[in-house]
Amino acid sequence: MNDVCNAPGLLPIETAIQNILGSITPVKDVETITIMQSVDRVLASDVKSTINVPAHNNSAMDGYALCISDKSLTYTQVGSVFAGQVFEETLTPGQCVRIMTGAAIAPGANGVVMQENASVDGDKITFTAQPELNENVRFAGEDIAIDDVILKAGDKLKAVDVGLLASLGIANIDVVRNLKIAVLSTGDELIEPGQPLMQGAIFESNRAVIISALQQKNIDVLDLGIIPDDKELITNAFLKANELADAVISSGGVSVGEADFTKEVLNEIGEIHFWKIAMKPGKPFAFGKLSNSYFFGLPGNPVSAAVTFNQLVEPALQKLSGLGEVNPKMRFNAVTTSVIKKRPGRADFQRGTATINEQGDLVVAPFNKQGSGVLSSLSKANCLIVVPAQSGNIEKGATVSIELL
Ligand SMILES: Nc1nc2c(c(=O)[nH]1)N[C@H]1C(S)=C(S)[C@@H](COP(=O)(O)OP(=O)(O)OC[C@H]3O[C@@H](n4cnc5c(N)ncnc54)[C@H](O)[C@@H]3O)O[C@H]1N2
Ligand code: MOO
């Protein structure tokens, strides 16, 4: 792992992400669950189809299945077939059967005409035009054939994927077990919401952000609360977190302050790298390994904690969870509606609101208040405006990159 703690300059965010992803070995433990519990879970093995979908050639329309005859537009109806039924006799040219959408095509039939294009006179059915071969016929295996791999190990299941599994008759599925993540905050100034706010203290909010974000990702959270600045208490908290969790996320105490035992303790019990990353907010950040878990030390400032979680921890957790592909977050071009103030040096992740203007263009309004402590700016924002490290101020009307939140 590249540690630039003492190196001049800052670590580019891309390098930090590479280092983190390169150090992480995904969780391999597997559990079998019903498909109805499987949305957003990561598949542990490939899923192959054991059936054809559709299972039989069937009709795409309510109408008439027929055996094409080039002699006449009038056919003789010899029966009816509804969804779930099978017509046993084989049609000969000039014969048709009444058929409903989804019903199996009768043997010998080679086309279906929708009923709007037919007129009925007893068993004589006259079509408005000569039917085309295989018109309105859905073929067996057209969607999925036997032995097709329909979902791969490492895929995260979407709602429609669960439906796809159901359509193949699969009731249970092997997935990677949920991650277990321990979360804690350190700092004597921190007070739990609901308690009286003493002079010089602040309400603790980073845990609320991190735990809520983890809960949205099917992650089992071990909440270790606020740990006071006491070496023994901090040591015990980290040892417990390391024992019980796949990863530990703490916030605060990763910069250069003096009243901090976090660094000291972490250095005693693990191999942790304290980086200065070329990003704003979120310059100080710690990452490394304890004996049984990975450690992420987010900066204490609330916006810095949330943005580093979003940019650095989320991809790491994706990899740890067994996700096959960890893709960079999607970025879009948007026109800024005002000047973006920025000093060259660190990549900025500024808060703003993206909208579509009257001309149909994607535009973004950066907020005036961009301080690392202004959590309300992140609450109001629907995107991060990503400005490259080397860039200075950006003019109104320029095109910038945004990531939707
Ligand atoms: N001399 C320097 N000072 C600082 C530097 C630096 O490079 N040199 N970096 C600054 C940057 S950038 C950041 S970001 C902060 C991060 O410092 P820490 O991670 O050590 O965070 P703390 O000092 O513990 O706290 C900073 C700030 O955030 C509040 N905080 C902390 N935890 C929570 C929480 N769980 N919920 C809500 N608010 C929290 C804390 O009260 C402080 O106000 O360092 C700069 N300083
Ligand atoms: O990154 Mo600090 O996050 O600039 O305030």
Q: What is the pLDDT of residues 256-311, one digit of tens each?
A: 765 568 888 888 999 999 999 999 999 999 999 999 999 999 999 999 999 999 99
Write out pLDDT tens, residues 78-88: 999 988 888 99
Distance separating alpha carbons of residues 243 and 29, to the nearest angstrom: 17
- Choose the residue to mutate in 280, 301, 309, 343 for probing ligand 1, maximizing ligand atoms within 8 Å of C-beta: 301
Domain annotation for the chain: domains and CATH numbers: 13-28+178-320 (3.40.980.10), 30-52+142-176 (3.90.105.10), 58-138 (2.170.190.11), 332-404 (2.40.340.10)
User: Which ligand has the nearest atom to the CA of 229?
Assistant: 1
Q: Is 381 exposed, middle or buried (0-12, 13-18, 19+ CB in 10 A)?
A: buried
- Residue 131 phi, psi dihedral angles, 5° rounding: -65, 150
Amino acid type, 192: E
Is the pLDDT confidence value at 350 over 50?
yes
Is the pLDDT confidence value at 385 over 60?
yes
Structure tokens at 117: 């294009």
Instruction: Using the mean position of ligand 1's atoms as its centre, give its distance from the Cα of residue 359 in Å.
Output: 42
Is the pLDDT confidence value at 6 over 50?
no
* H helical segments located in 114-192: 159-167
CA-proximal residue: ligand 2, atom 5 (nearest): 372
What is the pLDDT, as a whole number, of residue 130? 87
Which range (115-129, 247-261, 373-387) has the least confidence?
247-261
Question: Ligand 1, closest atom to CA 202?
Answer: 41
Instruction: Using the mean position of ligand 2's atoms as its centre, give its distance from the Cα of residue 184 in Å.
Output: 19
Write out pLDDT tens, residues 211-245: 999 999 989 999 999 998 888 999 999 999 999 99
- Residue 64 phi, psi dihedral angles, 5° rounding: -135, 130
- What length does the chain have? 405
Q: Is 369 exposed, middle or buried (0-12, 13-18, 19+ CB in 10 A)?
A: exposed
Mean pLDDT, residues 89-114: 96
Helix (H) or strand (E) holding 20: helix 13-23
Mean pLDDT, residues 33-57: 96
Instruction: Using the mean position of ligand 2's atoms as its centre, give its distance from the Cα of residue 228 in Å.
Output: 22
What is the pLDDT, as a whole number, of residue 259? 55
CB of 262 closer than 6 angstroms to any ligand 1 atom: no
Question: Ligand 2, closest atom to CA 371?
Answer: 5
CA-proximal residue: ligand 1, atom 4 (nearest): 255
Q: Tell me the C-alpha to C-alpha distance, in Å, between residue 354 and each of 72, 328, 357.
A: 62, 20, 9
Distance separating alpha carbons of residues 282 and 373, to the nearest angstrom: 11
Instruction: Using the mean position of ligand 2's atoms as its centre, give its distance from the Cα of residue 133 in Å.
Output: 68
CA-proximal residue: ligand 1, atom 16 (nearest): 299
Is the pLDDT confidence value at 165 over 70?
yes
Instruction: Using the mean position of ligand 1's atoms as its centre, give its distance from the Cα of residue 252 in Å.
Output: 6
Distance separating alpha carbons of residues 234 and 262, to the nearest angstrom: 7
Instruction: Using the mean position of ligand 2's atoms as its centre, give its distance from the Cα of residue 308 in Å.
Output: 10
- Residue 243 phi, psi dihedral angles, 5° rounding: -70, -40
* H helical segments located in 216-343: 231-244, 262-269, 302-308, 314-320
Pocket residues: Cβ below 6 A from ligand 2: 280-283, 299, 301, 304, 372
